[in-house]
Amino acid sequence: MTIRASTTRRLLSVQLMLIVLLFSLPSASLVAQSFGERRVHVGLKLFRTLVAADTESGEKLDAEGRLPVYLVYVDNGRDAREYARELAADMGKVRGAEVRIAVMPLAKLLTGAEIRPAAMFITQPLDERELARLVGYAIRQRAILFSPFEGDVEKGVLGGISVEATIRPLINMNTLRASRLAIKRFYLRVAKRYGDGDD
């Protein structure tokens, strides 16, 4: 076993432990802060593990060899920048590649011809039209799209949060198939699946 393979396996183990830890959190703990804000903080942790579970992330590096990850907002850049700092503190490398975290207005993202995201995190609730356009964009780009907000996965977003007796990742299987993303089985095994007979 090479050192790199061993390191990758250790990182995946840590990610798995994180998911298990999140599962052990009772859903009532989401009320500690405002419900939406707490969902965002938990969502950032699940987003990080989902990005690490993309087995083809090495093919999505930018010209400088970094993995481009965008936090998307419409009109609240201040919160998006705060969440970007929080994500950056926990997300150094993915599969050996440095991660480039940037805050991006939705309008600029959708019109930027040279923007090629590997993954995107929605930092504020979007209206139905905005969400539909972003979902379509993510599918065309074969990019991970994650939203911590209730109901977004059911509307086509790839990943989110299931809050029931425990907290679990939530994956839209129809979007996963349409995006042709390759997500590691360990993430799919622990996630609640929407659009796969489990919803």
The answer to whether residue 111 sits within a structural domain is yes
Residues ≥6 apart with Cβ < 8 Å to 15: 48, 49, 52, 53
Supply the pLDDT for residue 193: 93
Q: How many domains does the chain have?
A: 1
Element (H, E) at 185: helix 185-190
Instruction: Name residue 168's amino acid.
Output: R
The answer to whether residue 37 sits within a structural domain is yes
DSSP string, 102-168: EEEEHHHHHH-TT---SEEEE-S---HHHHHHHHHHHHHHT-EEE--STTTGGGT-SEEEEESSBEE
CATH, residue 69: 3.40.50.2300
The answer to whether residue 186 sits within a structural domain is yes
The answer to whether residue 103 sits within a structural domain is yes
**In the block, which residue shows the tokens 């994650």?**
146
The answer to whether residue 117 sits within a structural domain is yes
The alpha carbon of residue 37 and the mean position of all alpha carbons in its chain are separated, in whole angstroms, by: 16
Instruction: Name residue 89's amino acid.
Output: A
Collect the ranges in the chain with pLDDT lower than 70.
1-35, 197-199
Supply the pLDDT for residue 93: 85
Supply the pLDDT for residue 69: 97
The answer to whether residue 199 sits within a structural domain is no
Supply the pLDDT for residue 141: 94
Q: What domain range includes position 158?
A: 3-194
The answer to whether residue 70 sits within a structural domain is yes
Instruction: Tell me the CA distances in angstroms from 123 to 64, 86, 96, 110, 156, one per residue in order.
Output: 26, 12, 26, 16, 16
Supply the pLDDT for residue 167: 84
Prediction pTM value: 0.83
The answer to whether residue 123 sits within a structural domain is yes
